[in-house]
């Protein structure tokens, strides 16, 4: 069975550096254990780069990550639970521009990037219970009654990992985040007179 743990989009329309953003995102997933360090381990399933007639570019990038669920007590990874993270990038109107920042000229990109992330928790990965002649009759009872707490733990854990990536992207684009531990101050500005 599969459960949706997170489903969100992040949109950015402004100046940014696409190559640095692409590398930073891939480094993020490598550092958080979603894939290995080698290029052959990286799960990029689609990369489409179109040059449009109005001197802009369009990109479609699909990444499909999966890993074994973490142990409940910090032990070995679970073989019954599997985490899946689908990351889709869609970049529109991308063009290379020069812009001034504090009196210096920089090369960057101007365009719109939309990142869609779907996190799924799959139970019985490999269909060991479903294909067993005796256990297939008890799979729903096993999930709903016996390992209900562990299932909830894995859903919450995957949700936290997915939204941690959302906070990371928002910090990359200098957007305010709802993460109280990010150290960027309050989400809502304080009202009243500032102290001198």
Q: How far is CA 194 from CA 117, 139, 180, 183, in A?
A: 39, 59, 21, 19
How many whole angstroms separate alpha carbon 191 and alpha carbon 46?
47
> Cα–Cα distance between 174 and 64 in angstroms, integer?
26
**Tens-place pLDDT, residues 106-151:** 889 999 999 999 999 988 666 665 675 665 656 666 666 566 678 7
pLDDT reported for residue 1: 64
> 192: burial class by Cβ within 10 Å (0-12, 13-18, 19+)?
exposed
pLDDT digits (tens, 9 = 90+) for 137-147: 566 666 665 66
pLDDT value of residue 165: 95
34 backbone dihedrals φ, ψ, rounded to 5°: -85, -20
Question: Minimal CA–CA distance to 78: which of 93, 91, 68, 92?
Answer: 68
pLDDT above 90 as % of the chain: 46
Quote the pLDDT of residue 186: 54
What's the average model confidence in pLDDT over 82-95?
95
| pLDDT tens digits, 41-69 | 889 999 999 999 889 999 999 999 998 77
């Amino acid at each position: 069975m599969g459960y949706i743990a997170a489903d969100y989009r992040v949109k950015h329309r402004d100046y940014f550096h696409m190559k640095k953003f692409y590398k930073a995102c891939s480094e993020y997933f490598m550092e958080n254990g979603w894939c290995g360090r080698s290029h052959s381990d990286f799960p990029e399933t689609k990369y489409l780069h179109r040059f449009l007639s109005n001197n802009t570019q369009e990109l479609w990038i699909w990444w499909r990550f999966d890993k074994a669920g973490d142990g409940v007590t910090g032990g070995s990874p679970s073989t019954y639970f599997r985490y899946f993270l689908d990351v889709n990038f869609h970049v529109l109107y991308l063009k290379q521009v020069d812009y001034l920042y504090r009196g210096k000229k920089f090369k960057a990109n101007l365009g719109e990037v939309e990142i869609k992330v779907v996190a799924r928790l799959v139970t019985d990965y490999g269909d060991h219970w479903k294909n067993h002649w005796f256990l297939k009759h008890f799979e729903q009872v096993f999930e709903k009654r016996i390992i209900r707490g562990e299932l909830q733990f894995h859903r919450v854990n995957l949700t936290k990992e997915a939204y941690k990536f959302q906070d990371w992207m928002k910090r990359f684009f200098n957007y305010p985040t709802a993460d109280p531990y990010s150290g960027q101050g309050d989400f809502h500005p304080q009202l009243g007179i500032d102290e001198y």
